Structure 1
Amino acid sequence: MITKIEKIPVTNSSYPFASAEKYCGLSQKGYEETEYYMYGTANVYQSTDQNGNVEIAVKDAPYVNRFVLRAPKDPSKASGNVIIEIINPTSFMEIDRMWILGHREFLRKGDIYIGITSKPNTIEKMVEFDKERYGRLSWNNPNPENPASREIEEFQKGRKAASDVDFSYETGLFWDMLTDLAWLIRSEDKKNPLLQYARKYLYLTGWSQSACYLYRYVNSFAYRPEVAREQAVFDGYLAGGGVHSFVIPVNQYEVLQEYNYRLSRIEKIRQPFIEVQTESENGRFESWRTMRPDSDSTEFKYRLYEVTGASHDTVYSYVDYYQKDPDLIRINHLPEYLGKQKEGNNYPSQFLYAAAFRNLFHWVRTGAAPGHCERIKVDAEGENCKDAFGNTIGGLRTCLLGYPSGRYCSTSTIEPGMSMLNPDSDKDGLFGYQEAFSASMLKELYGTIENYRKLVTQDTGEQISKGFICSEDAEELIEMAVELAGKRGL
């Protein structure tokens, strides 16, 4: 239960962590970014079996969390769409990746965005960033007498990834936080910061580990009677870059629990659900074993888009967006490309995400499901099959792969010890690289830059007609492709 919502003042010296006002110039686009403390109590749950069923283990544990809100300054300009993102915590930093990938569509349509802190492992960096602003955040463990098992402690040694556990806090408080915030946003309660805005449709989204949170929420919580009250709490879902070998435990003491593989995917979904995967996840991490077919069934409304060319992280989404932010440099947490290859993967998946969000919103509002897209071709080991140019075959493609001027790889070479997934490896399977074709090869393929422009313009038009590119993004995408081909010698 949420007991209080408190607005956190924004000043020149105190502002939200990784503020989109700094990166996106929201105020010049008719938007305002605000931030709130969220006080309340939450239950902690425990699994009753391997299939996702849960029951309450501890009732009414107190917490203080936060969320960031980005909305049109003028409430009359709001579209009625409210997107709640489960902010990604994997790097121990708040990464609102779905905002990064989707904000071009949100801003031009008047959509409202909310990003909620999803795991307390990021609080330390936020406090280092601004102790006065974030020092009161609290996810205290309500059951500290439950000792950490020796098995978990051994599992923790030498690890720095998403499975880390700190028994001073409890990650399992999140499920009720999310549900209660969603119902507050839907309500006419005076605590609702969106009381003056249209709030007709509510969507849940998340990236990578947060997509796994989303899977677990749908499988274990969304259809519980106390969550699905007079209607479903969320009208639609969009999961990005989900790792299908990873099941989120409902509390941190279950970190080593064995779960049925079905919990790493969506089993039942009565609301539209779009999943978008990149080449980093489409076949790896057991994704090829847990893949679901597209469906328009009333019990399974689902689409899967596999983005050919893109890796999990890209230059745009993980490096350029943050604009060498001095605040992130100050706390030694500025995202960077670590690959030894010269050019990090910069495939423009943001255009495809913008269209995916648009398709989801249309599906929810009208009931008309989006089209299907081809899946990426994989071999018996789940690795992507390549064409003669070295690019992956199949999947959701833009003109950059319809008429390539280079090859896109989802894995780069790094110094051993730098990998978040495997410290002993010299490979980074989350941030790949791109490699240009030679100028002579480009001229043999396309002749002139004028002809190349004609080809990529036609290709982009076809993708718009299929609903995979927004018409508003066509010119930028075409110019990006032409500029890249010209830079490479065409």
Structure 2
Amino acid sequence: MIERIEQIPITDTSYPFASAEKYCKLSQNGYEETEYYMYGTANVYRSVDKDERVEVATADAPYINRFVVRAPKNPKLCSGNVVIEIVNPTSFMEIDRMWILGHKEFVRNGDIYIGITSKPNTIKKMVEFNTERYGRLSWKNPNPEVPFSFKIEEALERNHVLPDLDISYETGLFWDMLTDLAWLIRSDEDENPLLKYSRKYIYLTGWSQSACYLFRYVNSFAYRPEVSRGGKVFDGYLAGGGVRSLVTPINQYESLKEYSFKLSRIEKVSEPFIAVQTESENGRYDSWRTMRSDSDNLYFKYRLYEVTGASHDTMYSYVDYYQNDPDLKRIDHLPEYIGKHEEGNDYPSQILFAAAYRNLFNWVRTGAGPNHCERIKVDAEGENCKDAFGNTVGGLRTCLLNYPTGRYNSTSNIEVGMSMLDPSSDKDGLFGYEEAFSSGMLKELYGTIENYRKLVTQDTEEQISKGFVCKEDGQELIELALELARKRGL
């Protein structure tokens, strides 16, 4: 239960962690960024079985969390869409990846964005960033006297994605925080920070580990009577980059629990759900083993887009967005490309995510599901099949792959010890790289830049007609393809 919402003042010296005002110039685009403390109590749950069923283990544990809001300054310009992101905590830093990938569409559409802290492991870096602003955040373990039934070293060895166990806090407080925030946003209560805005549709989104949180929430919570309250918590869902080999534990004490594979995907969903995967997840991280078919069934409204060319992290979404931020440098947490290659993967997956969000919003409003797209072809081991150019076959494609000027890889070579997922590996399976074709090869393939322009323009117009690229982004995609072609010698 949320007991109180308190706005956190923003000044020249005290502002939100990784503020989008700095990176996106929100105020120049008619938007404003605000931040709030969220005081309340939450239940901690435990699993009843290996599948989705849960029950209350500890009731009404107190917490103090935070969330950030980015919304039109003028409420009359609001679209009625509210997108709540489960902010990604994997790197021990708040990474609002779905905002990064979707903000251009949100801002031009007048959508409201909310990013909620989803795990207490990121609080340490926020406190280091600004102790006065974030020092009161608290996710205290309501039962700190109860030890883990395993050694933390064992958990780290078995699961490098979750090196964040701490007996002093409890990750399992999040489920009620999320539910209660969504219902508050729907309400007309005075505590609702969006009271002056239209709030017709509320969506849940999350990237990577946070997509796995989203899967678990839909499977284990969204349809519990005390959660749904005779209605629906969210009107639609968009999961990005979900690592299907990972099942989110219901609390940190269950970190080594054997769960059913069904919890790493969506089993049932009555609201529109779009999953967007990149080359990194579709094979290597077991998406091919947990594949679900597209459906318009009343109890399973689902689309899967597999973005060919993109790796889990890209230069745009993980490095360039942060603009070499001195604040992140100061706390020694500035995202960087660690591969040995000259060009990190910079496939423009943000253009395809913008269209995916638009398709989701239209699906919810009209009931008409979006087009289906081809799946990436994988071999018997789940590895991506390659064409004659060395690019992956199938999937959701753009002119950059249909008329390539280079090769897109989803894995990079790195120094041993630098991989978060496997410290013994010399490969980074989350951040790929690009290899340019030679000038001679490009001229043999396409002849002239004028001919290449015709080819990529025609291809992009086709993708726009299918709803996989927004019309507003078509020219940007064409110009990006032409820029790469010129740079590489066409």
* TM-score normalised by length of structure 1: 0.99
8 Å Cα contact 1:241/1:276 also seen in 2: yes
5+ long unaligned stretches in structure 1 = none
8 Å Cα contact 1:89/1:162 also seen in 2: no
Residue 316 of structure 2 corresponds to which residue in structure 1? Answer: 316
Distance apart, 1:153 and its partner CA? 4.5
Whole-angstrom CA distance in 2 between matches of 1:359 and 1:149? 45
Residue 459 of structure 2 corresponds to which residue in structure 1? Answer: 459
What SS does the aligned partner of 2:293 have?
Answer: coil
What SS does the aligned partner of 1:288 have?
Answer: helix
Residue 269 of structure 1 corresponds to which residue in structure 2? Answer: 269
Whole-angstrom CA distance in 2 between matches of 1:475 and 1:431? 26
What SS does the aligned partner of 1:32 have?
Answer: strand
Whole-angstrom CA distance in 1 between matches of 2:39 and 2:31? 26
Structure 1 residues 200-259: Cα deviation after superposition (integer angstroms, max 9, x where no partner): 000000000000000000000000001111311000000000000100011000000000
8 Å Cα contact 1:30/1:72 also seen in 2: yes
Structural mapping, 1:355-374, within 5 Å: 355-374=355-374
Residue 444 of structure 2 corresponds to which residue in structure 1? Answer: 444
Residue 132 of structure 2 corresponds to which residue in structure 1? Answer: 132
Whole-angstrom CA distance in 1 between matches of 2:93 and 2:374? 34
Distance apart, 1:149 and its partner CA? 2.5
Residue 285 of structure 1 corresponds to which residue in structure 2? Answer: 285
Whole-angstrom CA distance in 2 between matches of 1:25 and 1:151? 46
Distance apart, 1:158 and its partner CA? 10
Whole-angstrom CA distance in 2 between matches of 1:149 and 1:172? 16
8 Å Cα contact 1:94/1:117 also seen in 2: yes
8 Å Cα contact 1:85/1:205 also seen in 2: yes
Whole-angstrom CA distance in 2 between matches of 1:267 and 1:146? 33
Cα 1:411–1:255 shift into 2, 3 Å: same
Residue 470 of structure 2 corresponds to which residue in structure 1? Answer: 470
Whole-angstrom CA distance in 2 between matches of 1:153 and 1:342? 36
Whole-angstrom CA distance in 2 between matches of 1:281 and 1:160? 16
Residue 96 of structure 1 corresponds to which residue in structure 2? Answer: 96
8 Å Cα contact 1:276/1:307 also seen in 2: yes
Residue 13 of structure 1 corresponds to which residue in structure 2? Answer: 13
Whole-angstrom CA distance in 2 between matches of 1:326 and 1:152? 33
Structural mapping, 1:70-469, within 5 Å: 70-156=70-156, 161-469=161-469
Q: Figure out how many residues of one structure are paired with residues of the other and give that number.
A: 490
Residue 57 of structure 2 corresponds to which residue in structure 1? Answer: 57
Q: Which amino acid aligns with 1:76?
A: K
Whole-angstrom CA distance in 2 between matches of 1:139 and 1:453? 54
Residue 42 of structure 1 corresponds to which residue in structure 2? Answer: 42
Q: Which amino acid aligns with 1:318?
A: Y
Structure 1 residues 401-434: Cα deviation after superposition (integer angstroms, max 9, x where no partner): 1100000000000000000100000000000000
5+ long unaligned stretches in structure 2 = none
Residue 2 of structure 1 corresponds to which residue in structure 2? Answer: 2
What SS does the aligned partner of 2:213 have?
Answer: helix
Whole-angstrom CA distance in 2 between matches of 1:360 and 1:151? 42
Distance apart, 1:273 and its partner CA? 0.1
Distance apart, 1:157 and its partner CA? 6.4
Whole-angstrom CA distance in 2 between matches of 1:33 and 1:181? 18
* TM-score normalised by length of structure 2: 0.99
Whole-angstrom CA distance in 2 between matches of 1:320 and 1:272? 32
Whole-angstrom CA distance in 2 between matches of 1:365 and 1:229? 22
8 Å Cα contact 1:54/1:220 also seen in 2: yes
Cα 1:159–1:226 shift into 2, 3 Å: closer
Distance apart, 1:150 and its partner CA? 3.8
Q: Which amino acid aligns with 1:281?
A: E
Whole-angstrom CA distance in 1 between matches of 2:77 and 2:414? 46
Q: Which amino acid aligns with 1:262?
A: K
Identity percentage of aligned residues: 77
Whole-angstrom CA distance in 1 between matches of 2:150 and 2:71? 47
Between stretches 370-379 and 227-236, larger displacement belongs to 227-236
